[in-house]
Amino acid sequence: MEKQMLLRQLKNKKIGALLMDARMASSRNIDECAHILSLSREDYVSFEKGHNAPSVPQLEALSVYLDISLDHFKGKSSKYEAQQTGYRKNLEKIILVRDRIIGATIRKSRTEQELSLDQLGEKTNIPATLLESYEFGKVPIPLPELEIIADILHQDIDSYYEKINEKISEKNQQIRLNQFLELSDHLQEFVTKPINRPFLELANKLADLPVDRLRNVAEGLLEITY
């Protein structure tokens, strides 16, 4: 039980650090993130400090709001892949429904394995009354606790995540196509010519430079020109 408690605390800290990193990288403040989850500032801060952990639906909502892949919170990626989508509308309702779906999935698996709430509580060190609230979607399940429950029920934690990355990928492709079609005919022709690829690659590298370094490059070009 002590080992589970320690692992849970470490997981909370890791998620908190990744959450803070994602929020700062997307230039969002604490109040904005708290508002999108319908939480108080204090409750959201407790996530980033690692005192508590968000639920999977809350992470899904944040991944869309912060324009970042869910893999970031699994420690697998820090690349930002999400785009503006209709998923951002009615997030509060979506989170509520997702909590209920996850809870129902746990309840189904538990009953199939003929485990009572008390038995699952003993194995996970989570009170049976709290587990019941989780199963009926009354209380969001912190991710570290969901991982413990999934492990006891012999389930893959990834099965609890909604498959939104595929939807986002398709949406991104459509967005890129629309952006290309909005270019003038002259620019479309320029972009599609292989001979112009070095110029495009150079522009891409310049776009990644910090503002101060980009300013130095521009000043250097002016000195050469004049």
Q: How many domains does one find in the chain?
A: 2
Domain boundary among 104, 133, 160: 160
Per-residue DSSP letters for 93-113?
A: HHHHHHHHHHHHHHHHHHHHT
Alpha-carbon dihedral sign for residues 162, 19, 79, 144: negative
Ramachandran assignment for 80, one of left (phi > 0), alpha (psi -120 to 50 degrees), beta (any other):
beta
Residues 110, 192, single domain; the answer is: no
Residue 84 parent element (H or E): none
Q: Of 117, 132, 160, which residue constitutes the final position of a domain?
A: 160
Domain final position from 114, 142, 160? 160
Tell me the CA distances in angstroms from 192 to 174, 185, 206, 220, one per residue in order. 18, 11, 20, 30
**Global confidence as pTM:** 0.53
Walk along the chain (226 residues) and give the pLDDT tens digit of each residue: 677 777 788 888 888 888 888 888 888 899 999 998 999 999 999 999 999 999 989 988 888 888 887 777 776 544 434 333 444 556 677 788 888 889 999 999 999 999 999 999 999 999 999 999 999 988 999 999 999 999 999 998 888 886 544 544 555 555 555 666 676 777 767 767 778 777 767 776 666 666 667 666 666 655 654 4
Q: How many CB atoms lie within 10 A of CB 99?
A: 21
Q: Which residues span the domain enclosing 49?
A: 2-160
